[in-house]
Amino acid sequence: MTKRRSASSEKSTAGPPADKVAVAIVGAGPSGMTMAIALARHGFSVALVAPALPAHDDRTTALLDSSVEMLRALGLWADVEPHTAPLRHMRLIDATGRLLRAPEVVFDASELKLDAFGHNIRNSELNSALAAACGQEASLLRIEDRLAHVETGTDGATLVLESGRQVEARLVIGADGRMSAVRTAAGIAAKSWRYPQSALVLNLEHEVSHHNHSNEFHTPTGPFTLVPLTGRRSSLVCVEQPDEAERLFAMDDETLSLELERRAASILGRMRIAGKRQVYPLGGMTAETVAANRCALVGEAAHAFPPIGAQGLNLGLRDVAALAELLVAARSKGEDIGSDAVLARYERARRPDIASRTTAVDLLNRSLMSDLLPVQALRSVGLYAASRVPPLRRLLMREGIAPMMARPRLMRGLSLS
């Protein structure tokens, strides 16, 4: 193999023979595991390289309908669903207290003839179900290790792991999160930015049923969003100025519960903090391309943005679905799955969706923070129209779940072959 690029100055040393697979995936978060299962189910030999799962991740993810459709198509939904709460209604409440305020808007999944917009689940439960499914795939080799560096060549790539073990593959998929080592190895630059906000994230038990309503209060510092979990529980993402997020984080459970109940206008009654709290500084990142040098990126390795509007992983799963579809098609035509032509097709397929979602989340977030009257007026008029004009409501709801232009076959419940 002609060596074309090395991610570090280290050289691969002689050792035991390398594992040889068609595709090596780095990262076993939800994007990497779903990618591994989709490819193994379609007959690819796959290595999945990542350290063991963290024992606890109290964050939750709202899987929108198109992602649910994909998990269903892969036969994973039956194991995931019991841990989820359906999101049937979405209420947007203007809590900016400004002169120009938007009317309250409630979207209802039944208007789209759906049972729910999506389903909310704790990441640890989603990851456990996906890890169990990975364990069932005969052509999937799970390697608990970290990537040290990648050497890419004209006909394949060699991954060198921290233990010294090596894996050879036609294609490397970077599902290794925001700080992706695969992205660096492929020589792909990324643009990052920060917002003057942090998110306090935690789960709550509450007295009153959420009735499957997701409640999003729009405040001048960002959204305060309560998303249903199973039972009388909800997850909270409270976007605040960094100092205020730290102040809330430092409160004792009782004081914080009362403060959150006040901010939620008591719609869920008395609240109790359940589990750990976390604070995330808000920022975004976009890779300049999602594929180069025998490497393709999926999930947060390719794009990251604030936890607003439940878009991050749903966008990542669309990467997974699109890449799986392209690879199955390339193989059926006898193409090299890691070739520049296939990678260029993946970039073309994903760029519009990634660019439009990144812009939409950015605009929504900045419109809340803006003190400019014209921006507030535009937001209010937009939400007023959304509350009154049925076709616009349906368009917004449908596009919020997944853009029509970016629904790979798996997200329409179709098989790939």
Nearer to ligand FAD, 81 or 336 (CB): 81
Nearer to ligand FAD, 199 or 287 (CB): 199
Nearer to ligand FAD, 225 or 376 (CB): 225
Nearer to ligand FAD, 32 or 156 (CB): 32
Q: Residue 333, Cβ neighbours under 10 Å: how many? A: 7
The minimum distance between CB 103 and ligand FAD, in angstroms, equals 25
Annotate 17-56 with DSSP letters as a single string.
PPEEEEEEEE--SHHHHHHHHHHHHTT--EEEE-PPPPS-
Residue 298 in tokens: 């999926």
Nearer to ligand FAD, 279 or 329 (CB): 279
Terminal Cα-to-Cα distance of the chain (whole angstroms): 31
Judged by CB under 6 A, which of 72, 91, 98, 146 binds ligand FAD? 146
The minimum distance between CB 410 and ligand FAD, in angstroms, equals 16
The minimum distance between CB 1 and ligand FAD, in angstroms, equals 22
Q: Which residues between 270 and 299 bind ligand FAD (CB under 6 A)?
A: 280, 299
The minimum distance between CB 317 and ligand FAD, in angstroms, equals 8
Distances (CA, A) of 329 to 159, 322, 332, 390, 417: 25, 11, 5, 39, 8
String of contacts with ligand FAD for each residue 349-378, x by CB under 6 A: ------------------------------
Residue 167 in tokens: 């894996």
Q: Which residues between 39 and 98 bind ligand FAD (CB under 6 A)?
A: 49-51, 59, 61-62
Residues 6+ apart with CB under 8 A from 142: 28, 48, 134, 135
HSE value, Cβ hemisphere, 13 Å, CA-based, for 26: 36
Residue 4 in tokens: 């074309």
Judged by CB under 6 A, which of 156, 228, 284, 316 binds ligand FAD? 316
Interaction between residue 402 and ligand FAD (CB under 6 A) = no
| Contact in structure between 70 and 321 (CB atoms under 8 Å) | yes
H or E segment to which residue 275 belongs:
strand 271-287
Nearer to ligand FAD, 174 or 376 (CB): 174
Nearer to ligand FAD, 318 or 379 (CB): 318
Q: Which stretch binds ligand FAD (CB under 6 A): 89-97, 209-217, 283-291, 304-312?
A: 304-312
String of contacts with ligand FAD for each residue 162-181, x by CB under 6 A: -------------xxx---x
Q: Residue 417, Cβ neighbours under 10 Å: how many? A: 11
Q: Which residues between 192 and 251 bind ligand FAD (CB under 6 A)?
A: 199, 201, 237
The minimum distance between CB 174 and ligand FAD, in angstroms, equals 9
User: Binding residues for ligand FAD, how many (CB under 6 A)?
Assistant: 32
Alpha-carbon span 34 to 378, nearest angstrom = 39
Interaction between residue 313 and ligand FAD (CB under 6 A) = yes
Nearer to ligand FAD, 318 or 331 (CB): 318
Residues 6+ apart with CB under 8 A from 391: none
Q: Which stretch binds ligand FAD (CB under 6 A): 28-36, 243-251, 365-373, 405-413?
A: 28-36
Alpha-carbon span 35 to 290, nearest angstrom = 15
Nearer to ligand FAD, 43 or 51 (CB): 51
Main-chain phi, psi angles of 389, to 5 degrees:
-105, 105
Helix %, strand %, coil % of the chain (to 5): 40, 30, 30
Alpha-carbon span 13 to 15, nearest angstrom = 6
Interaction between residue 300 and ligand FAD (CB under 6 A) = yes
Nearer to ligand FAD, 147 or 248 (CB): 147
Rounded to the nearest 10°, the torsion over CA 256, 260, 266, 267 is -140
Interaction between residue 160 and ligand FAD (CB under 6 A) = no
Tokens 């032509």, residue located: 341
Would you tell me which residues interact with ligand FAD (CB under 6 A)? 26-32, 49-51, 59, 61-62, 146-147, 175-177, 181, 199, 201, 237, 280, 299-300, 307, 310-314, 316
